[in-house]
Amino acid sequence: MIDMLITPFTDFAFMRRALLGCIAISVGATPIGVFLMLRRMSLTGDAMAHAILPGAAVGFLISGLSLGAMTIGGLIAGMAVALLSGFVTRVTALKEDASMAAFYLISLAAGVLIVSMRGSSVDLLHVLFGTVLALNDDALALLCAITTITWFALAVLFRPLVLECADPQFLRSVSGLSAVTHFAFLALVVMNLVAGFQALGTLMSVGLMILPAAAARFWVQGIGPLIGVAIVVAILSSITGLLLSYHHALPSGPAIILVAGVIYAASVILGRQGSLLTRYLPRPHLHS
């Protein structure tokens, strides 16, 4: 049993690279997912994941499966969609969720079309679902760099981010940091989705951002504990998914996300905070 758990990582460099990449994504993207959940923006994260696709596809069209070109293209496209969506929301009667959904659908269609113009169905699957088992040293360096930037930014913006989650109107009234915090947070979302895109593709990158955060919500309260438990869930999902992929010849990205989904489902049923178990089978009160 021990050999089944350890041998894939000790014997194969590609498994070690995949594990390191997934840990970097888990440590960097999962705290962003916690704040997305607390700000009721989880579906915004999903929309933003698809918003990076046209830029990454243009990078692919120009340079093929080039890490640099696809990363730069994804960052530009993601930030453009975030800014355009916010602009449309502020100058028209359209709500933010509808605006983001419109740009998400346009981006997804445009990205698939651009990749299909030059690439094969294999290239399209690579862009949509990622190749976590093919991460090279450059990709790992990018993932670790984005994780480092994310934690530094969260350390600087932690208090206004927490306050915006609790009472955004109060933050606007007492500080001029509201807009800066909001757009800086969107930039962090885009950066971490681009990082996840390198390993898990545009359709799966948001999975390690949202599912561990949602699962953690059923076990602990408080932003610090939420972030800690969510990171543990993400890393556990990554290790288990990679092992399932290795031993049973499964696609690695979907396997990782499905493991996270199983943990989320178990948390919905068995968690200590607001789960089905606590709601319908409450603990008996002690009587004096």
Contacts of 218 (CB under 8 A, 6+ apart): 267, 268, 270, 271, 272, 273, 274, 275
pLDDT for res 287:
52
Residue 62: CB atoms within 10 A of its CB come to 12
Residue 93: CB atoms within 10 A of its CB come to 7
pLDDT, one tens digit per residue, over 107-140 is 888 888 887 777 666 666 777 777 788 888 888 9
**pLDDT category, 200, cuts 50, 70, 90?**
confident
Gap between the Cα atoms of 101 and 278, Å rounded: 35
Q: 3-state SS of the chain: helix, strand, coil percent to 5?
A: 85, 0, 15
Domains within the chain, CATH numbers bracketed: 2-280 (1.10.3470.10)
pLDDT for res 226:
95
43 vs 199: which has the higher pLDDT: 199
Please report the DSSP string for 51-98 in residue order: HTHHHHHHHHHHHSS-HHHHHHHHHHHHHHHHHHHHHHHHHSS--HHH
* pLDDT score of 220 more than 80: yes
